[in-house]
């Protein structure tokens, strides 16, 4: 396992030795077949690629610094910015190129700029290796960039206009000076120290970044060896030295890009994926809880409505979501009296469902009199009890309940009812085809008990044989089609009048079909729609 993870490093050493040996063997042949103009073309291309990679490394570290504040990466980026700038000056100052500020008649200026680029670049690599990977600073990125650009420009001006300030690195006719060669070996020593630091980190952390840095440092060291060996700026050693440098820079760019851009996004994607799975599991649990709540809610609805030869009830219950905000019931109180109610609560979903459960549980059709006998609660008292209970609850101040509660006397055929602010009025559908609108003015059940004690007025209507009582929620008439046109009150009334001869069960089915025909599909319901029909038989 240990040998396998160092294979690429060993391969990079063997590759570098092979290229170096090839340059040594064929150097004379290379000098004979390569013209100065041809070499300059390749040199400009190589330097352009190297400069582009150096600037790319800097821009990656520069723009992620605002988020990461990572000192190690910004130092590394500034090292490459220094190399990129000095290599640019070196390229334009190369012997044989057009004059750049001053005449390019000697190779010393370009060689000096090159050795300065390699020196400060290698020092930057060493410093970045010493800095912990998670060390953060608050210095603005513009300061790092400004200091680096100013320093690199100063070096260029000194080399250009004060050529004797720095001892010569190349002498025409003699080649490289001993100082230049010594500087190259110092650079190699710095790169070797940097390699050992990354090797130590790699053995501790096994991080891919350290592994790729080591491969690049091997190539950079061989690049410097090549630049100690050339006798002419146009020979094979100079040529392969640039090849080593370009390959090493590209490896470093890939490593730095992955560390600063690609890897964080991959980590983020993994976190998003993990979080998505967690949310999916939570959503699945929530849906199960909602299904359970739906089952509880449905159990509060009557399984079977009272029916005999004198009266029958039919209901259509169409929730817009899994949990509904509508509620209803029909309760046979005794042989003569039947209680029925239909209501709506604010909102949808879980909150609305909880409100419907509260309403159903707080509707008390009976009370105990002084003799402990159960007596029927009048509609007004039923609503008053719900109002008091609601104001003693912990429901939000924004929620409310509206409903109609009534009691039908099968003997007298009278319907006595009270409204808690029901926003749509029930009808009595006379067997003659006439629609009688019931009065549902009243106060809704809301959190105003501290300020208002409402009076729920009772009203009475008489039905005849063949008449029907029609109660409904606003979701019925507010349902819209694809053109956003409501089903509407007028359409519903016209349908009821046109189908007055239908029995209650047939009317229920026909009205449901007519509603669906208008909106297109039952799933298009935007609000819960419920309607209840009571029919008085002859």
pLDDT in tens, 422-436: 999 999 999 999 999
Render pLDDT for 236-269 as a digit per residue (tens, 0 to 9). Answer: 777 787 788 888 888 888 887 776 665 556 656 6
CATH topology of domain 2-274: Rhopdopsin 7-helix transmembrane proteins (1.20.1070)
How would you list the strands of the sheet with 427-429, edge to edge?
311-318, 529-536, 468-472, 427-429, 435-437
CATH number of 301-536: 3.60.40.10
Closest CA to 294 of 354, 371, 213, 358: 354
Whole-structure pTM value: 0.54
Report the DSSP pairing between strands 529-536 and 311-318: antiparallel
481 token code pair: 């089609």
Q: Residue 272 above 80 pLDDT? A: no
Higher pLDDT, 23 or 468: 468
Give whole-number Cα distances, 319 to 155, 277, 357, 405, in Å.
79, 29, 15, 21
Q: What angle do CA 60, 73, 186 make, to 5 degrees?
A: 115
The model's pLDDT over 20-79, given as tens digits with 9 standing for 90+, comes to: 788 778 777 777 777 777 777 777 788 888 888 889 889 988 988 888 888 988 998 999
| Ranges of CATH 3.60.40.10 domains, the chain | 301-536
Whole-number pLDDT of residue 124: 92
Position 332 scores a pLDDT of 93
Q: What is the pLDDT of residue 344?
A: 92
Can you tell me the mean pLDDT for 111-140? 90
**Cβ-proximal residues to 358 (8 Å cutoff; 6+ apart), any chain:** 389, 390, 393, 395, 401
The candidate with the shortest Cα–Cα distance to 317, out of 532, 534, 530, is 530
Instruction: Report whether pLDDT(103) > 50.
Output: yes
Where are the CATH 1.20.1070 domain residues in the chain? 2-274
* Mean pLDDT value across residues 301-305: 82
By CB atoms closer than 10 A (0-12, 13-18, 19+), residue 361 is: exposed
Q: How many CB atoms lie within 10 A of CB 292?
A: 10
């Amino acid at each position: 396992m240990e040998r396998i993870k160092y294979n690429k490093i060993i391969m990079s050493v063997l590759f570098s030795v092979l290229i170096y040996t090839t340059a040594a063997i064929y150097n004379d042949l290379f000098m004979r077949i390569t013209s100065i103009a041809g070499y300059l073309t390749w040199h400009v291309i190589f330097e352009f690629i190297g400069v582009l990679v150096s600037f790319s490394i800097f821009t990656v570290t520069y723009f992620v610094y605002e988020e990461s504040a990572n000192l190690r990466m910004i130092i590394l980026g500034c090292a490459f910015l220094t190399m990129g700038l000095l290599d640019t000056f070196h390229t334009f100052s190369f012997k044989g190129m057009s004059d750049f500020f001053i005449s390019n008649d000697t190779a010393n200026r370009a060689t000096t700029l090159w050795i300065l680029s390699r020196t400060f670049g290698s020092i930057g690599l060493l410093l970045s290796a010493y800095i912990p990977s998670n060390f953060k600073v608050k210095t603005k990125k513009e300061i790092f960039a400004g200091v680096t650009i100013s320093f690199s420009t100063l070096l260029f001006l000194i080399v250009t206009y004060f050529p004797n300030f720095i001892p010569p690195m190349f002498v025409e006719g003699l080649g490289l000076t001993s100082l230049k060669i010594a500087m190259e070996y110092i650079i190699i020593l710095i790169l070797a120290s940097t390699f050992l630091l990354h090797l130590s980190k790699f053995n501790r952390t096994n991080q891919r970044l350290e592994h790729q840095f080591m491969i690049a440092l091997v190539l950079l060291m061989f690049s410097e060896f090549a630049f100690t060996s050339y006798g002419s700026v146009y020979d094979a050693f100079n040529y392969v030295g640039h090849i080593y440098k370009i390959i090493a820079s590209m490896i470093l760019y890939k490593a730095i890009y992955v560390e600063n851009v690609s890897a964080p996004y991959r980590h983020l994607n993994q976190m998003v994926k993990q979080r998505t799975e967690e949310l999916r599991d939570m959503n699945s649990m929530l849906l199960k809880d909602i299904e359970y709540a739906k089952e509880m809610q449905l159990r509060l609805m009557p399984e079977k409505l009272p029916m005999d030869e004198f009266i029958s009830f039919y209901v259509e219950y169409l929730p817009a979501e899994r949990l509904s905000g509508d509620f209803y019931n029909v309760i046979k109180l005794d042989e003569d009296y039947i209680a029925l109610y239909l209501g709506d609560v604010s909102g949808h979903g879980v909150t609305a469902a909880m409100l419907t459960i509260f309403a159903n549980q707080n509707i008390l059709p009976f009370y105990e009199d002084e003799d402990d006998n159960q007596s029927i609660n009048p509609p007004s008292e039923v609503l008053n009890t719900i109002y008091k209970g609601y104001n003693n609850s912990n429901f939000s101040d924004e929620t409310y309940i509206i409903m109609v509660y009534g009691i039908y006397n099968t003997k007298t055929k009278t319907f006595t009812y009270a409204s808690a602010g029901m926003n749509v009025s029930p009808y009595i559908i006379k067997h003659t085809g006439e629609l009688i609108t019931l009065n549902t003015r009243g106060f809704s059940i809301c959190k105003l008990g501290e300020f208002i004690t409402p009076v729920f007025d009772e009203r009475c209507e008489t039905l005849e044989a063949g008449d029907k009582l029609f109660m409904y929620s606003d979701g019925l008439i507010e349902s819209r089609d694809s053109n956003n046109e409501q089903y509407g009150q007028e359409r519903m009334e016209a349908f009821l009048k046109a189908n007055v001869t239908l029995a209650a069960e047939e009317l229920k089915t026909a009205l449901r079909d007519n509603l669906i025909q208008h909106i297109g599909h039952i799933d298009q319901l935007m609000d819960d729609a419920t309607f209840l029909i009571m029919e008085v038989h002859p």
